[in-house]
C-alpha cells in the first residue's frame, strides 16, 4: 500500500460496462445482508504471527490484513465510529504463548477492552509444522473450544468471527512435510473451526482457500513473482495480506461499491449516481461537475508488481473497490480527465462509454485514502508500543512514571484515532473532461 505511481493515461480498463456492474453491485448491497460491523463497534483481532501488528514498518513482517480491514471499514463508512484493537501475538497457540497463558491473554488483551466483535485466527503454530497428529489436533480442538467458552462467558453479546488459518505455501514451493504437506494439516484444523463455528452460530472466514487459488493462478503466470506472495511460506507479503483482508471483509458482507456516476449527454443530459452526489454539471466542448462521494476507494498499490499480480489473479477489485465513471454521447475521440486540476489520465470515447474504475487511478480520493491508511498504521504502532514495550515488558517493575507513560501513550493513540476519522471525511472534487 505504498503511494501509487500510476502512469498518466496508461489505464485501459476491461471492455465491460463497469457502470452497469456498479449498479448491479449497488442493488445487491441494498438486498444482501448488511455489513457486519456497526456504528460504535470495538473490534479486537486475536491470533498469532499472521495477525500480529507490524511494528515500525518492518518490511520483513508486513502482517497487514487487520490494518487493511480497518482502513476499508473507515474509508467505506466514514461516518461510522469503529475502534479496532490488534491483540495478536507472534508465536501464539490456543494455549497462549510468550505473552502469557491463554487465560491471561484473553483477560488482559481481549476481555479488558469490552469488544463487541472478536476475530480469532490460530492454528499455524499449533500444528508445529509437522504431519497431522491426533494428539496435536485434539489439543488444538480443546483449546479452541476453551477460547470460545471463555469469550461466551465474559462477552456474551460479542459477535465472534472464527477464522480458518491462512495457508502454508506449498504451491510456489514443493511440500516439505510428509503425508500431503503442512497446508493439508491447516485445512483439517480449518474444517474443525468451520464445523464448530456453524454449531455455535458464529461468522466464518476462510483465509486459506482463496489465497491458495491465487498462488496457483499467479504461479502459472509468473512463478518468480508468485513466490513473493508468501516469501517464507508462512507470512504473506502485503500482496498476500490483501487477499486475507478481502476474505474477512467478504465474510462480513462488505460492499464493493465506492461510488458510481453515469452521464449521458444524449438524454438532456441524464445523470445517474450511486453513493455520491453530483452537482453543477456543465456541458460544452468540455464537461465539468462537482462530485462528493460518500466513501473513499480502497488504496491498492498497483505499482507494486506482487500486488499487481495478485490483483490480476483475484476478484479483489470487483469485490471491494468499484468507483466507476461512465459518460455516453461524447463526440471527440479522446478526453483528458482532470480532478481538482490534476490530470488523472487520457481515455478514449469508447473507454468512457463503457466505464472506467477510478479506484485504480492516482486520484485525490485515493491519496486521501492512503493518508487514512498511513494514520491507521501509525496508531497501531503506538498501540503496539504501549502494550508490548511498556505495559507487558515492565509489568512487574514499580516505576514512578510508568502509569503516566501508559496514560500518555493511550491519549496519543486516541488522538491518532481522531485524526483517522477526520482524514476519512468525504470531500467535494471538481471533475473536468476535456477533448484532446
Give the pLDDT score at 270. 87
- CA–CA separation, 434 vs 282, rounded Å? 12
Q: What pLDDT was estimated at residue 220? A: 98
Q: What is the pLDDT of residue 50?
A: 95
Which helix or strand (DSSP H or E) is residue 328 part of?
strand 322-328
b/e per residue, 153-181, with b = 16+ CB within 10 A?
eebeebbbbbbbbbbbbbbbeebebeeeb
Say what the pLDDT of residue 1 is.
38
**What is the arithmetic mean of pLDDT over 425-434?**
97
Average pLDDT over residues 42-52: 96
Give yes or no for a contact between 306 and 242, defined as CB atoms under 8 angstroms apart.
no
Provide mean pLDDT across the span 181-206: 97
226 or 27, which is more confident:
226
What average pLDDT does range 239-266 have in this prediction? Answer: 96
pLDDT-based confidence at 44, cuts 50/70/90? very high
pLDDT of residue 4: 34
Alpha carbons within 13 angstroms on the beta-carbon side of residue 302 total: 18
* Cα angle value 387/390/394 (rounded, 5°): 120
278 pLDDT more than 90: yes
pLDDT more than 70, % of the chain: 89
From the list 198, 276, 233, 206, the residue with the least C-alpha distance to 23 is: 276
- The whole-number pLDDT of residue 58 equals 56
pLDDT number for residue 62: 53
End-to-end C-alpha distance for the chain, whole angstroms: 32
Place of cell 473532461: 433
- Spatial separation of the C-alpha atoms in residues 40 and 115, rounded to whole Å: 10
The pairing of strands 334-339 and 342-348 is antiparallel
Q: Are 22 and 257 in contact (CB under 8 A)?
A: yes
Q: Which range among 19-33, 282-296, 344-358 shows the weakest confidence by mean pLDDT?
A: 19-33
Q: Which three cell numbers stand for residue 332?
A: 471527440
Share of the chain above pLDDT 90, in %: 86
Nearest Cα neighbor of 165 from 99, 116, 97, 212 is 212
Residue 10: Cβ within 10 Å count: 9
pLDDT value at position 12?
A: 30
pLDDT at residue 19, rounded to an integer: 46
pLDDT of 7 above 60? no
DSSP string, 228-285: TSSTTSSS--HHHHHHHHHHHHHHTT---EEEEEEEEGGGSSEEEEESEEEEEEEESS
Tell me the average pLDDT of the chain: 91
Burial 194-218 (b: 16+ CB within 10 A, else e): bebbeeeebbbbbbbebbbebbebb
What is this structure's pTM? 0.91
Question: Mean of the pLDDT values across residues 5-24?
Answer: 39
Q: Which three cell numbers stand for residue 355?
A: 466505464
pLDDT digits (tens, 9 = 90+) for 300-333: 999 999 999 999 999 999 999 999 999 999 999 9
Average pLDDT over residues 7-13: 29
Nearest of 25, 8, 7 to residue 16 by alpha carbon: 25
Neighbours of 430 (CB within 10 A): 14
Give the pLDDT confidence score for residue 6 in this predicted structure: 33
- Lowest-confidence region among 91-100, 177-186, 335-344, 417-426: 177-186
**418/405 Cα distance (integer angstroms):** 20
Query: Cβ distance 89 to 97 under 8 Å?
Result: yes
Domain parsing of the chain, residue ranges: 1-33+255-436, 36-254
pLDDT of 420 above 90? yes
In this predicted structure, the answer to whether residue 11 has a pLDDT above a threshold of 60 is no
**Mean pLDDT within 233-257:** 97
How many Cα atoms occupy the beta-carbon half-sphere of 214 within 13 Å? 34
Is the pLDDT at 3 greater than 60? The verdict is no
For 65-94, write each residue's pLDDT tens digit: 999 999 999 999 999 999 999 999 999 999
| Residue 427 grid coordinates | 470531500
Residues 6+ apart with CB under 8 A from 284: none
- pLDDT score of 15 more than 50: no
Query: Of 59-68, 259-268, 367-376, which gets the smallest average pLDDT?
Result: 59-68
Question: Which whole number is the average pLDDT over 403-432?
Answer: 97
Length of the chain in terms of residues written:
436
Tell which residue, 40, 66, 11, has the closest CA to residue 384: 66
DSSP string, 116-160: SEEEEE--TTTTTTSS--HHHHHHHHHHHHHHHHHHHHH-TTPEE
Q: What is the pLDDT of residues 95-150, one digit of tens each?
A: 999 999 999 999 999 999 999 999 999 999 999 999 999 999 999 999 999 999 99
> Is domain 36-254 classified as CATH 3.40.50.1820?
no
Distance between CA atoms of 279 and 110, rounded to whole angstroms? 46
The b/e string for 404-428 (b: 16+ C-beta within 10 A; e otherwise) is eeeeebeebbeebbebbbebbebee
- Is residue 395 helix, strand or coil? coil
Q: Mean of the pLDDT values across residues 164-170?
A: 97
- pLDDT over 70 (residue 32): no
Amino acid at each position: 500500500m505504498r503511494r501509487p505511481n500510476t502512469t498518466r493515461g496508461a489505464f485501459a480498463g476491461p471492455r465491460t460496462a463497469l457502470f452497469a456492474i456498479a449498479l448491479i453491485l449497488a442493488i445487491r448491497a441494498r438486498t444482501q445482508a448488511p455489513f457486519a460491523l456497526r456504528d460504535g463497534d470495538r473490534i479486537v483481532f486475536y491470533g498469532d504471527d499472521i495477525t500480529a501488528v507490524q511494528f515500525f514498518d518492518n518490511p520483513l513482517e508486513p502482517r497487514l490484513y487487520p490494518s487493511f480491514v480497518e482502513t476499508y471499514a473507515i474509508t467505506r463508512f466514514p461516518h461510522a465510529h469503529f475502534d479496532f484493537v490488534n491483540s495478536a501475538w507472534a508465536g501464539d497457540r490456543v494455549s497462549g504463548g510468550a505473552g502469557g497463558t491463554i487465560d491471561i491473554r484473553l483477560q488482559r488483551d481481549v476481555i479488558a477492552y469490552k469488544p463487541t466483535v472478536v476475530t480469532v485466527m490460530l492454528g499455524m503454530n499449533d500444528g508445529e509444522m509437522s504431519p497431522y497428529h491426533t494428539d496435536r489436533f485434539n489439543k488444538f480442538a480443546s483449546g479452541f473450544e476453551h477460547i470460545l467458552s471463555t469469550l461466551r462467558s465474559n462477552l456474551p453479546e460479542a459477535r465472534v468471527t472464527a477464522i480458518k488459518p491462512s495457508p502454508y505455501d506449498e504451491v510456489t514451493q514443493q511440500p516439505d512435510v510428509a503425508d500431503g504437506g503442512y497446508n493439508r494439516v491447516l485445512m483439517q484444523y480449518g474444517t474443525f473451526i468451520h464445523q464448530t463455528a456453524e454449531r455455535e452460530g458464529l461468522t466464518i472466514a476462510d483465509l486459506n482457500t482463496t489465497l491458495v487459488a491465487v498462488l496457483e493462478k499467479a504461479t502459472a503466470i509468473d512463478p518468480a513473482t508468485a513466490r513473493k506472495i508468501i516469501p517464507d511460506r508462512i507470512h504473506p507479503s502485503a500482496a498476500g495480506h490483501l487477499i486475507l483482508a478481502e476474505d474477512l471483509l467478504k465474510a462480513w458482507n462488505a460492499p464493493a461499491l465506492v461510488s458510481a456516476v453515469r452521464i449521458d449527454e444524449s438524454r438532456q443530459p441524464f445523470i445517474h449516481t450511486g453513493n455520491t452526489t453530483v452537482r453543477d454539471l456543465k456541458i460544452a466542448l468540455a464537461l465539468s461537475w462537482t462530485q462528493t462521494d460518500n466513501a473513499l476507494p480502497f488504496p491498492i498499490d498497483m505499482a507494486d508488481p506482487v500486488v499487481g499480480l495478485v490483483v490480476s489473479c483475484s476478484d479483489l477489485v470487483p469485490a471491494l473497490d468499484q468507483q466507476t465513471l461512465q459518460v455516453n454521447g461524447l463526440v471527440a475521440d479522446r478526453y483528458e480527465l482532470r480532478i481538482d486540476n490534476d490530470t488523472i489520465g487520457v481515455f478514449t470515447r469508447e473507454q468512457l462509454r463503457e466505464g472506467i474504475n477510478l479506484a485504480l487511478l492516482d486520484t485525490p480520493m485515493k491519496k486521501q485514502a492512503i493518508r487514512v491508511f498511513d494514520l491507521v498504521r501509525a496508531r497501531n504502532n503506538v498501540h503496539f508500543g504501549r502494550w508490548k514495550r511498556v505495559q507487558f515488558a515492565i509489568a512487574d517493575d514499580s516505576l514512578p512514571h510508568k502509569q503516566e507513560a501508559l496514560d500518555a501513550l493511550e491519549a496519543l493513540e486516541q488522538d491518532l484515532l481522531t485524526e483517522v476519522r477526520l482524514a476519512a471525511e468525504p470531500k467535494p472534487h471538481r471533475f473536468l473532461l476535456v477533448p484532446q
